[in-house]
Amino acid sequence: MHQLLDDYLCKKYPKIFIERGLSAQESCMHWGLAVGNGWFSLLDTLCHDIQSSIDSHNECVRKGYDWAVKAGEIKQFVALQVKEKFSGLRFYYSGGDERIAGMVSYAEDLSYSICETCGQMSEDVGRNKKGWIQTSCKEHARNSADFTPNGKSELADVWRKVRQDEKETAEKEERDFVKNKAENDAIKAEFDSAKV
């Protein structure tokens, strides 16, 4: 990830990326967020949801809500390593709870549908099978001859049909709007002439 984006996330979520400034001997976070810029929004949303969950739960514990006190405070989630591996996001961490583990698992699964380079999410996102495996859209595939969209041709056909249907619906709505406007204008003109 570009250094400016990396710095932004580390500054926005200092509790999560507390190990970012450590040496390579102390933490793998020394190497930063080792993913493409396209996963920035995915990581930003994930970190926001994680920190919000921890903060709100722990606030309920401090306020003495029975259900929260029984569960106990959630240990602060700390990123140990964030990288791409076999075309998917890998987010290694300590702390958190089962709910947060589910959030991380969901984000890792979702990464297979998001171009790591540009962040595009569509039927054109897929992976190559030989050489370096990367999740990308057709435009950013390293080897287009080896690229296979996640949904293969069947999903691409479905999306083409959806887009065609949406286009036809929008055109029909536009025609209906123009027709209704003309009818309304005629009625108004007739009404105005009857007043005179």
pLDDT in tens, 134-160: 777 777 776 666 666 666 566 667 767
Distances, alpha carbon 139 to alpha carbons 39, 94, 100, 143, 149, in Å: 16, 36, 33, 10, 12
What percent of the chain clears pLDDT 90, i.e. is strictly above it?
A: 59
Residue boundaries of the structural domains of the chain: 3-114, 152-196
Over residues 86-112, the pLDDT tens digits come to 889 999 999 999 999 999 999 999 998
- The whole model's pTM is what? 0.74
13-20 average pLDDT score: 96
Do 127 and 136 touch, CB atoms closer than 8 A? Answer: yes
Give pLDDT, residue 117. 85
Indicate whether 129 pLDDT > 80: no
Res. 63 pLDDT band, cuts 50 70 90? very high
For tokens 């890998």, name the residue. Answer: 90
Q: Which residue has the higher pLDDT, 127 or 38?
A: 38
Pairwise CA distance, residues 6 & 35, whole Å: 10
Strand ranges inside the chain, DSSP E: 33-34, 78-85, 88-94, 126-128, 135-136, 147-149
Pairwise CA distance, residues 94 & 79, whole Å: 7
Q: Which residue has the higher pLDDT, 196 or 160?
A: 160
Pairwise CA distance, residues 127 & 137, whole Å: 8
Res. 49 pLDDT band, cuts 50 70 90? very high
Distance of CA 66 to the CA centre of its chain: 34
* Phi, psi angle pair for 174, to nearest 5°: -65, -45
Indicate whether 15 pLDDT > 90: yes
